[in-house]
Amino acid sequence: MSLAKLFSFVKEKPSTSNRVVGIDIGSSSIKVVELQNRNEVITLTTYGELQLGPYEEGKTVGQSVTLPPNIERQALVDVLRESAVKSHEAVFAMPLSSSFVTTMTLKADPKEDITSRVRVEARKYIPVPIAEVTLDWVEVEARTVVGETSRDVLLAAIQNESLRRFNTLMQTVEFSNPPTEIECFSTIRSLYSNNDPNVAIVDIGATSTKLYLIHNGLLQRMYRVRAGGAVVTQLIAKELALSFEDAETLKRLATSHQEQLTALQKIHHNHYDRVLKEFRQVIEEYEARSGSEISTVYLTGGGSIFPGIDVFIGDHLSRPTIKVNPFNKVAYPAFMEDTMNEIGQSFSVALGAALRVFD
pLDDT tens, position by position, 135-178: 888 888 766 655 677 888 888 888 899 888 888 888 888 887 77
CA terminus-to-terminus distance, the chain:
12
CATH 3.30.420.40 range(s) for the chain read 1-96+160-191+326-359, 193-324
Compute the distance between CA of residue 168 and CA of residue 173 in angstroms, rounded to an integer. 9
pLDDT at 341: 92
pLDDT at 149: 79
Using alpha carbons, select from 13, 1, 24, 3 the residue that is nearest to residue 345: 24
> φ and ψ at 164, to 5 degrees?
-65, -40
pLDDT at 17: 67
Q: Is residue 295 within 8 Å of residue 199, measured between CB atoms?
A: yes
pLDDT at 47: 97
Q: pLDDT below 50 — which residues of the chain?
A: 1-11, 13-14
Using alpha carbons, select from 10, 87, 106 the residue that is nearest to residue 48: 87
pLDDT at 353: 95
The CATH homologous superfamily of the domain defined by 1-96+160-191+326-359: ATPase, nucleotide binding domain (3.30.420.40)
- The Cα-based distances of 111 to 1, 107, 108, 149, 290 in angstroms read 18, 12, 8, 10, 21
Q: Is 193-324 assigned to CATH 3.30.565.60?
A: no
pLDDT at 119: 85
pLDDT at 163: 86
pLDDT at 2: 40
